[in-house]
Structure 1
Amino acid sequence: MEMQSVGAAFIRPGQLLTDRTALSAARRWTQAVSEADGVCVIHLSPGADPCEITAELREQGLRASPNHVFRGQPLFFGGPASRPFPVPPIPHKPGRSHSDVVVGLLDTGVAKHPWWAGTDWYGQTAPEDGDATEGSQAGHGTFIAGLLARQAPGAALRVHRVLDGDGVSDEATVARALFRMRERPPHVLNLSFGGHTFDDRPPQLLGDAIAALQDTVTVACAGNTGSDRPFWPAAMPNVVGVAAVDASEERRAPYSGYGTWVDACARGDWLTSSFLDGGDFAGYATWSGTSFATALVAGALADAAKSEPAKEVARRLFDSEDARQIPDLGVLIPASL
């Protein structure tokens, strides 16, 4: 789909997100409306500026946002690896441990892999993700699923494909997927994607969708921007924003986002995990980025949530005086892989 750059952010041109309460006020700019899962996408008349209309509607106390574009893995600043590299098979047996914890994974989908062959959760996921192997970033979700599976043994994944094969989505797609999760909310939710907003304010419709998952701990990546500019949804106050540290777990990875809005960090450099089977790859890869540091944090929370509610785990972990804090990176979560 088409996108344009506005205010150092990407948006879908000619699209405005609202809820029903704003439809009447936006009528004079409206060419068509598509409504689904709590989100209205207004297709604007030619020449109408979604950013200007957003500001006008917000001044009236209404909820509105341009349809911001979100991206998965691409490294915007430095870093050791902007793409995955093949590695030999990684020894891992799923084992027989079972957890009642459910981890939501919104990403590019999850491809078939020996690590979850025969699991109940993959059998439920596979039909939706039949095209999870197509595109330059198609293995992103499969890689994250492997990190979660090893970090939280026995936990079930609930996978929804919101990023296309090139790792691109938008606010409307993500918000609608989140609203659909309200009837069966996961304990922990992994969002390894994000983006900037045109005004550096929280994207309102996405914020509403996350807030509706009241008992879910939402974990999101701080972005591979190498800057302290807020990256959404990670910068939201009800989201655990995750930065990446290097392999020493002592220093910020040079590509990682950082700032006072970041809550936690974990290793992001040269992690190994499950991947696609094809081309140069035989089902395994090494890759770097805040996307994968996020999976380590989400997995650690999910593993601890076997014995207490996930919200309590997060509160205890991030409010503890004993936790090791790194300035502008938050609490360090050591990798257990």
Structure 2
Amino acid sequence: MALQRYREQFDHIQRSMPEVPLAMGPDDDGHPLYEKGVVLARSGEEARAVEDTVRAHFTETRGLLPDHVRRDGPDGGRTGVTRIRVGAPDLGDDVVPHALGALRAAEERHGRRLVSRNHVVHIAVNACPGDEPVPIARSAAPNPAAAGTGHDPATAVRVLVVDTGLVHDHHAYPLLAHTTGDTQAAETDGGVLRQYVGHGTFIAGILAAVAPNTDITVRGTLNDAGAVLESEFGARLFEAVEGAGWPDVISLSAGSPAPGLHGLLGLDAFMRELREQRTLLVAAAGNNGSDVPFWPAAYSALPEYADSVVSVGALRSDGEGPACFSNHGRWVRVFAPGERLTSALTGFGTPVPYLYQHSTYDDCRYGFDYSCTCQYPRHTGALSEARESTGGKPDQVMFDGFAQWSGTSFATPVAAGLVAALMTSERERDPRTAGARLLADATHRTDVRGAKVRALRPPTWRPVPVTAPALPA
């Protein structure tokens, strides 16, 4: 049952990237999305070794001509990766698993990974589904509520949000009055709010509430349906940080699942550069309810990145345990509130309609027994097969400023905001020192699949009872 929504989102992302044929990974592989017929290798000698090995394998086992395996574009430049096309019409839909299998022996000889899929990196409510936003009255208070400290440009902590862009009316929300960055591309389609518009704005609103003394910049790196190929993502991250210099904190609510503890080949160069900076990366653990590592959050489990990356899972709305959708495992370092948070979305100037894209379930799709966002608020979605089979119409709501939303996407800015708030209160200039102290001083623990894990609970966050709320009219 959990895969239904994932398949709906796969179709949505494929439509947004029509020129890129995509494949969906096996169920036991964390559900990665990746480009068909293409693998990634480090540029130079390793890329040549990959080409030669795959070409020899396919020629010997499938009788293909050598030119079926070729470089697909120039070497990767700053990111240091090369796309290698391994597909051929004779091989059917997707030959990437065959190519990867052919390289296992070569990798063992070299003693390192040589090749990987070209994953789709996506925002952590997208192909890694949390839920969809719910309208909240403008008279409601944000949750977490705004902390007491104000904004001082001379001492403000610099936070970069890499996500979808800001909605056009975000400045109407006082906490975002001084937020800068890219605007959201194409907010509506036929007058109806597009899926995941406002995601970056919602995150910025949470950050500003937890840590008002921040200069927040939002980069619309993931404006295209919240998804980008791994081969492009590293370069986009470099562009995001180099526009105005490396920030104190990066809040990143995106990634891709990939088993093992190798990371994403397309991010190697960026992550090595991050390690040499003073910037702290706070990254979402993902929403597949899985222990398969979600990257780049899972870099926090690697010793060389222990001080530069913090991975964040989501607590359920009453704070008494993990949210049903949250990824988990030893690579998730801390949990923070991430279910039914309230922040700015859009519609502050003029209310805007939204059609739900996914239907809720009768039971939690991850098998939990509390009233989670899988079930409530009830709605019928436009992409869901159940709607098509029953002839039901998708539910429509109006957004008028605030929304309630769930996902590790939103636990992430809570944690990033707490790092920034500690920097302000303690006059700490090193974000990594602040991050380490925040984790060391965390007194709360929550039980996650039998393990006691650190839990952060901001002083202005209010627990929300896990009962079935009513969907606003």
Shorter-normalised TM range: 0.7 to 0.9
Q: Paired residue for 2:413?
A: 295
How do 1:82-161 and structure 2 match up within 5 A? 82-89=131-138, 90=140, 96-98=151-153, 99-112=155-168, 113=170, 114-115=172-173, 119=177, 121-122=179-180, 125-126=181-182, 129-131=183-185, 133-134=187-188, 135-161=194-220
Instruction: Describe the SS at the equivalent of 1:305.
Output: helix
Q: Which moved more, 1:111-120 or 1:248-257?
A: 111-120
Pick the aligned partner of 1:25 from 43, 49, 52.
Answer: 49
Q: Which moved more, 1:203-212 or 1:91-100?
A: 91-100
Instruction: Describe the SS at the equivalent of 1:11.
Output: strand
Deviation at 1:167, TM superposition (A): 2.5
Cα distance change on mapping 1:225 and 1:276 into 2, 3 Å: same
Encode CA deviations 1:144-200: one digit per residue, 9 max, x unaligned: 111111111131122222223533223223211222355411111111122212666
Cα distance change on mapping 1:291 and 1:64 into 2, 3 Å: same
How do 1:1-337 and structure 2 match up within 5 A? 1=17, 2-7=21-26, 8=29, 9-21=32-44, 22-28=46-52, 29-34=69-74, 35-47=76-88, 49=96, 51-52=100-101, 55=104, 58-59=107-108, 60=110, 61=112, 64-74=115-125, 82-89=131-138, 90=140, 96-98=151-153, 99-112=155-168, 113=170, 114-115=172-173, 119=177, 121-122=179-180, 125-126=181-182, 129-131=183-185, 133-134=187-188, 135-181=194-240, 183=242, 184-197=245-258, 201-213=262-274, 214-237=277-300, 238=305, 239-277=309-347, 278-279=352-353, 280-306=398-424, 307-308=427-428, 309-320=430-441, 323-328=443-448, 330-335=453-458, 336-337=460-461
CA RMSD, 1 decimal: 3.0
| Contact preservation (8 Å) 2:233, 2:266 | no
Q: Which has the higher Rg, Structure 1 or Structure 2? A: 2
Give the percent of matched residue pairs that are identical in Structure 1 and Structure 2: 28
| Contact preservation (8 Å) 2:71, 2:82 | no
TM-score (norm 2): 0.62
Encode CA deviations 1:254-279: one digit per residue, 9 max, x unaligned: 11111111111111111111102221
User: Gapped runs of 5+ residues in structure 1?
Assistant: none
| 1:25 counterpart letter in structure 2 | A
Cα distance change on mapping 1:69 and 1:77 into 2, 3 Å: closer
Deviation at 1:6, TM superposition (A): 3.0
Cα distance change on mapping 1:215 and 1:69 into 2, 3 Å: same
Query: 2: CA distance between counterparts of 1:77 and 1:96?
Result: 34
Instruction: Describe the SS at the equivalent of 1:319.
Output: helix
Instruction: Select the structure with the greater relative contact order (CA < 8 A; seq sep ≥ 6).
Output: 1
| Contact preservation (8 Å) 2:160, 2:247 | yes
Cα distance change on mapping 1:53 and 1:103 into 2, 3 Å: farther
Cα distance change on mapping 1:323 and 1:287 into 2, 3 Å: same
Structure with bigger strand share is 1
Cα distance change on mapping 1:132 and 1:323 into 2, 3 Å: farther
User: Gapped runs of 5+ residues in structure 2?
Assistant: 1-16, 53-68, 89-94, 189-193, 354-397, 462-473
| 1:295 counterpart letter in structure 2 | P
Deviation at 1:117, TM superposition (A): 8.8
Query: 1: CA distance between counterparts of 2:152 and 2:438?
Result: 24
Q: Which moved more, 1:214-223 or 1:47-56?
A: 47-56
Instruction: Describe the SS at the equivalent of 2:418.
Output: helix
Query: 1: CA distance between counterparts of 2:151 and 2:107?
Result: 52
Instruction: Describe the SS at the equivalent of 2:295.
Output: coil
Cα distance change on mapping 1:38 and 1:282 into 2, 3 Å: same
| Contact preservation (8 Å) 1:10, 1:68 | yes
Instruction: Describe the SS at the equivalent of 1:236.
Output: helix
Query: 2: CA distance between counterparts of 1:222 and 1:249?
Result: 17
- Paired residues in the alignment total 330
Deviation at 1:205, TM superposition (A): 3.0
Query: 2: CA distance between counterparts of 1:326 and 1:225?
Result: 19
Query: 2: CA distance between counterparts of 1:167 and 1:118?
Result: 22
Query: 1: CA distance between counterparts of 2:217 and 2:104?
Result: 36
Query: 2: CA distance between counterparts of 1:170 and 1:69?
Result: 5
| Contact preservation (8 Å) 2:80, 2:269 | no
TM-score (norm 1): 0.85
Encode CA deviations 1:222-257: one digit per residue, 9 max, x unaligned: 111122222222221232111111222121111111
Instruction: Describe the SS at the equivalent of 2:201.
Output: helix
Deviation at 1:54, TM superposition (A): 6.4
| Contact preservation (8 Å) 1:17, 1:42 | yes
Cα distance change on mapping 1:102 and 1:78 into 2, 3 Å: closer
